Structure 1
Amino acid sequence: MAWSPDFEEQLQLVRALLEVEGMRRQSDRDLYIQLLEDALGHYLPFARDERPLYDVMHLVRACLAYPGAIQTLVKIVEQVCGDSRAVRRVKELVEQLFPEPLLTFQERSDLHRIVRESAEGGFRTITPALVADLYRKAVEPLGPPLHCDPGDLSEVLAQLEELTSGLDGVPPLLVFVENLAARVAEPTASALRSWADRFADRLELAPEAKGAVRERAVRALEGTVPAAESAGPYSYLIIEFRPDAITADHYLTSAWLQCDGEHGVMLHCDDEDPLPRHRLQEVIEKLLADPQVVNRPHTELMVEFVLPRVLLDVPFDQIQINIEGLTRRLGIEYPVVVRSFDRMRSRTLHHNWRRKWNWLRGNPTRASLCRLPVRSTLGHELLYNNLLEESSIGVAMSFPPSAEREKTPDELWVSLHAGIPIAVWCRRRESDPGSFFTEVQQLWDQGVFSLPQSVLQLRRKALRALEKAPADDHLGFQLTLMFDDADRLPEPYVRLSAPA
């Protein structure tokens, strides 16, 4: 709690509790502790002692860490032991020494019951990262940091109860519960909203204030990555193939290992020995066997290819890699995405890219996908104008991009200029646009930030389909995903980019 009585006051309360007949026997205290934990909704950690004075002292000090715990304990003792003189003395001391808690006994009990009963239902998609984000939104910039495990909702609710009022006069706990209700399934969502309404009515919040809190919760939903999209943490193997300036169709290789939020570690840099296209597979296999990759900080690995325009349509996800004698496709082992080498090295193309990515981070559920069933007949300027719209984040093309060496604009090149960070296309020239867009929309609906993982599952599904029909026309064999994270650039591009 933000304030607690000193040692002498705690000792005074302990001795008053021991005057209650039911608190003198350890078996009775065990029952009260069990009832208290049930009411709080979580385990109450403290050391036990065979000596009554020390045992009750440990209990009182443990209760100080949880808002309303002392009041709840006294209420339980009163319910069991009745309204005796000793109980009244304890109640008077608690009223003198402790501020009135934000929640009543019944409110706290009801809230923790909803959380407890819904732990395996409506809350199963709520990740610790999302809880921490909702906490920050509730306490606002000036609020204290979260000091407990975000994976324990009961602990988070206890810390929020200590904050009696926010900057707008609304308790952060009420804001948190409304935000939480906006992200869970029914009937849990309705139970939380009903609890919030009763709590707000007791506080006599004005109807417009209650409405503003609920409206803010809906708006906040658009600014948080849904739990299903929270992938990682990941290690990233970034492989760049640069066109050799002298020998046609030969490429120089650089590679980095990167983790979320950290600079990349250079694994390989070849500026002198360009390789022909058919030897690029050797480089990939060597990098996957590199000790730093094998012993990467995070088990989950994503493979990213930074490619010039001429290589963007090469099916690197279908490359057969041989690791320790077992051959398999790279795209069923790891999420495989491509990134644009040309945009990464050109600072003139970074502004729109950064703007789009910043908007996407705050509005993942509002991101829209532009469908291009045929090569553009509208003109590149009109397409560019349409893609500049703030919510235009992705492009889906039922045809592959142009592989011409000259920088003649095509639909993908226009998209890169407009800052589009995500693009998908079918490498098969004669694909059916209708079925292609249906499948891509299903991937998009699973969450924008989880696209690399969703495409990985699609590629595995395509391989399983070969058992029934030996044909490679499944989209999982033909799909390329460009997923260009503007926040995470490999060296040396980090030094060229604007601050994230």
Structure 2
Amino acid sequence: MVGVVGESGAPVVGRDEFVPQLPPTQHRTIVVVDVAGFTDPSRTVTHLLAVQEGLYDVLGTAFSEAGIDLGECDVEDRGDGALILLPPTISKSRVADELPARLVAGLHRYNVVHADEAKVKLRVGMHFGEIRRNDHGFVGHAVNHAFRILDAAEAKSALATSRGVLALIASRYFYEEVISQDAGAVPGAYRQIPVEVKKTSTAAWLRLPDDWASPVPQPSGEAEMHEDDRPWEVVSEPDLNRLRDLLADLSVPHLPTLVRRAAGPTVPIPPAGTAWEVFAYLSDFNAGPDGLPPNLAFVDLLAMEVDDQVGERLAEWANHQAVRLRRGDAVRLRREGWTEIPAEPRLYLVFAVEPDAIDERICRLSYWRQDDPLDWPPQLGGSFDVMVDDLEFRTDDLIKETELVWAGESVSAALEFVLPRSLFHLPVHLWQKEHDSGDPRPLCLDYEIAIRSLERMRAAHWHRMWRVRWSSMLRDPSSSRVFLPLASAAKYHRMDAVLSDLEWVGLVMTEAPAPHPKPGAGPDELTAALRSGIPVLCWHPTASRQELQEMVNRLLDNGGLKSLPSRTQSSRKSMYSVAESTQSNLIGGFILLWDDPDRLLSLGQPTVTSPS
């Protein structure tokens, strides 16, 4: 550059030296996230920390399940949200098509195990454009625009009045170029909203993916069902109206079971509602690998559960849609794989407790909730550390949440506790629920309760004999197959030898098992029974051998082993319904280990939630 000298003789810097060298532009897909009501005064610092940790757990899992590695994205924390820039190699369609359902599932799993003050609803903005990066982060009009649409007043109010947990806000460009071009992104579920934020005046597109029960109100003057707001936009209006007439006043039997079978285990169970509301809810989820939309599968399943006339009309409607969509083979294959729901089905809620290796006051509590009585194993619902003294109260919370999901069912339920022998002393059969009511209710009044062995579930090399004994018991459950030892085994391996006889499928132990085997004493009764595959064990911590044997004989009379869990529950109920007696006092300490090898759990699988 040629230098210029001013009147004072000082050099004048050329104007072009004031122009900074800009970093290169990058075209990126932009996802911005905001936690609704993050600064609500009811949230304590502990709640805020849980919300922020939960947010990133949900984001990480949802992005991963949508095929996006969050670690490869550029993420800027915004305190109550985040700015996420996807690599150019990631298709925008993944964000529009696969990410919403994964976010909904993750948020529901997080919320179900957290207090109201720590629950999360999210607004998620989607945009793309050119951005630049400097030492302090990312800048560009596209980033600004993404945050402006995220703050749209109508999006905030819609989510606030919704029963759902997620609001998607797409920029006009993202909607037109990505969403509207892909039926899998459900463009008909979006509606246009105005955006007036600071100096930005534009329009965006709003969708509430899981808001099946409280639809976003339409502007006045529009028809009740706008073309873009049908529950399933690929169905003709006459067909949709005909289906609505059939479903509008129809309750859904076995709601969780039907939703799981129609949509798979990752779709959150909606609250109990009419069949039409459930159909509309499932319309927001993508088809499975066989191309069958979950709402169509739901109608087909429902047809088999309702009375003949309505069932026939629903089956006719489902067949017509399957043929029209060229999914007749998929419907046929699903029907062949569906097993009829039993006349007296039962659902299980299973808790597994694993002691901490260092601090015996702490344990790891995991739980599995079964929503289909024929579907096993269920998906892991959550896993988190708790104090042993708080176990009863944490299980109370989870039982309450489970009953909300099971509200649409009319089936019996049972509780199982998979415990290590060091915690067999926990009186889970005497635990109560609804502590927050001030008048807790004993669990045994509503559920059969049994404990199971954590050590045996983990020891796969014991499982063959376990299955042999269980199958043998189902064929012949006579009470004579319960071994009643006269005294504890003094000779080394004597109990092993006795229980090796395949005649035995049950054992009345001479004493309550010690928390840990005695070093050098050889296998005790519990170890021998578990290794031999004995599926039914019982003991009492204080009763005499004669008292315990008499109690077991009463429980086994006229029903054998198969009726032992139900008769045990009935006897436990009697503790609260009859005058106090020696018998009622004894049943309060009676422990039943009822261990079914056909209901194994994957104890090492990753947890789907990470509660604080």
Shorter-chain-normalised TM-score: which range?
0.3 to 0.5
TM-score w.r.t. length of structure 2: 0.39
| Higher relative helix content | 1
